[in-house]
Amino acid sequence: MGDRDVRGRLAIALDVDSAQAALDLAKNLTPHFGVAKVGYELYAAAGPQIVGQLRDLEMSVFLDLKLHDIPTTVGKGARVLGRIGISYLNFHASGGEAMLRAGVDGLSAGADEAGHPAPVPLAVTVLTSDPPDMTRLRSLSVMAREAGCAGVVCAATDISDVRAVFPAAVTMVPGIRMAESGRDDQVRVATPSEALAAGADVIVVGRSVTAADDPSAAAAALVASLSGLG
Ligand code: C5P
């Protein structure tokens, strides 16, 4: 895998509470990570303008807001979020098929209105901090497919079960740990190369890089650990 191909498959979780802290990390990490994951902590602190600021650093943005509400509210919220130029947005699959469909439709309508490429709508299945539940994983993956989601957020160990029922799913995979690092609150973890070898389209890396003494060096080591992959 060439470095450019790898970069678009690596998302850095900017789980910090200010725009300045996020942009400082992003400036250091953009050579290695093509995707910036913005959760509600950073989004609440920095506002929607953080999306354009990260795009200026050549990163596409995964807005990890895990929307879950009545379908109308999710659809209207997703529409406004679609206008700001994000590449990925997620919804809790447990919100049901009608809610997911409203989110998918709202997101693409908003992007279209603002002249942005269609973002990738993702359904959150079973959190990587929860124990495995394959029956639930499969039924939520079927629902995501039926609702028009492009893919799912799942653990590396879930990918084959997801693809058994949703073959074309884009898989966004958190719960990534370098071999030598601790698990924190994650239960189902994989190393970066294990997750990519298992078929992850994008891996989400957080504390193993952002909490390192030298995040740039940790990112470089992560990329080096992938050099044996196809
Ligand atoms: O620091 P760590 O690598 O555990 O960060 C994982 C990131 O991925 C966090 O921002 C967390 O909110 C997110 N996430 C997750 N499991 C999911 C969906 C998102 O851990 N199913």
Q: pLDDT (tens digit, 9 = 90+) per residue, 39-62?
A: 999 999 999 999 999 999 999 999
Does residue 11's CB lie within 6 angstroms of at least one atom of ligand 1? no
Cα 62 to averaged position of ligand 1 atoms, centre (Å): 12
Nearest CA to ligand 1 atom 15: 174
- List pLDDT tens digits, range 64-102: 999 999 999 999 999 999 999 999 999 999 999 999 999
- Phi and psi (nearest 5°) for 9? -105, 5
Tell me the average pLDDT across 127-138: 85
- Distance (Å, rounded) from C-alpha 34 to C-alpha 15? 16
- Distance (Å, rounded) from C-alpha 121 to C-alpha 24? 28
Q: Label residue 48 exposed, middle or buried (CB < 10 Å: 0-12, 13-18, 19+).
A: middle
Q: Which residue has the tokens 């239960």?
A: 187
- Contact criterion met (CB below 8 Å) for 178 and 115: no
pTM here is 0.94
Confidence (pLDDT) at 26? 98
User: 183 to each of 65, 80, 107, how far by Cα in Å?
Assistant: 23, 35, 33
Q: Which among 169, 111, 112 is positioned nearest to 137, based on CA atoms? A: 169
Domain boundaries of the chain, sorted by first residue = 3-225
Q: For strand 88-92 and strand 151-153, is the pairing parallel, antiparallel, or unpaired?
A: unpaired
Q: How confident is the model at residue 29 (pLDDT cuts 50, 70, 90)?
A: very high
Does residue 204's CB lie within 6 angstroms of at least one atom of ligand 1? yes
Using the predicted structure, report yes or no on whether residue 4 has a pLDDT greater than 60. Answer: no
Tell me the average pLDDT across 195-213: 97
Cα 207 to averaged position of ligand 1 atoms, centre (Å): 9
CATH class for domain 3-225?
alpha beta
Using the predicted structure, report yes or no on whether residue 1 has a pLDDT greater than 60. Answer: no
Name the DSSP letter for residue 176. Answer: B
